[in-house]
């Protein structure tokens, strides 16, 4: 567990080179270094020490790629809408493994449920009838 202090930012500073990019699905944007480091620092500095970042599971099959599932806890209790998963790709740079790409997927506060399936079917139907639209995606 990481509590709301500079631990996470310190680890990121060691593992993340200046060429790092982070795809954040919650805000639909890709951040390129040094922005992800500043974003991580801002997040950890704004957290209360009562709020902890908890890693639920980490993949360990590939030495140059890692998947992580995580959630936040407030005083040992799950924090609402705070589950997520992250994927990181690493490269060996200057003899050290460093994170060069990351993607964070955070649990949405609103749950689309069946509506998501209806929307996917509608978009698929449109793309089948107008395939040229796929070039704009």
How is the chain split into domains, by residue range?
2-106, 111-137
Encoded tokens for 132: 């040229």
In this predicted model, what pLDDT tens digit does every residue of 60-98 receive, in sequence order? 899 899 999 989 898 889 988 889 998 988 888 888 888
Is 3 in contact with 47 (CB distance < 8 Å)? yes
**Distance in angstroms (rounded) separating the CA atoms of residues 69 and 5:** 20
Encoded tokens for 60: 């360990």
Please, which pLDDT band fits residue 11 given cuts at 50, 70 and 90? very low
Range 2-106: architecture per CATH: Roll (3.10)
Structural tokens at position 90: 């690493």
Distance CA 89, CA 99 (A): 6
Summarised one tens digit per residue, pLDDT across range 100-117 is: 888 888 888 777 788 888
């Amino acid at each position: 567990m990481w509590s709301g202090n500079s631990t996470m930012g310190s680890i990121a500073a060691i593992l993340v080179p200046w060429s790092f990019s982070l795809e954040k699905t919650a805000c639909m944007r890709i951040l390129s270094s040094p922005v992800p480091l500043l974003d991580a620092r801002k997040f950890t500095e704004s957290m209360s020490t009562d709020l902890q970042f908890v890693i639920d599971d980490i993949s360990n099959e590939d030495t140059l790629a890692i998947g992580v599932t995580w959630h936040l806890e407030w005083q040992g209790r799950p924090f609402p809408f705070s589950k997520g998963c992250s994927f990181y790709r690493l490269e060996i740079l200057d003899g050290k493994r460093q994170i060069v790409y990351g993607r964070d997927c955070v649990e949405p506060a609103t749950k689309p449920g069946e509506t998501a399936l209806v929307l996917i079917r509608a978009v698929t139907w449109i793309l089948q009838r107008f395939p040229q639209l796929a070039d704009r995606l």
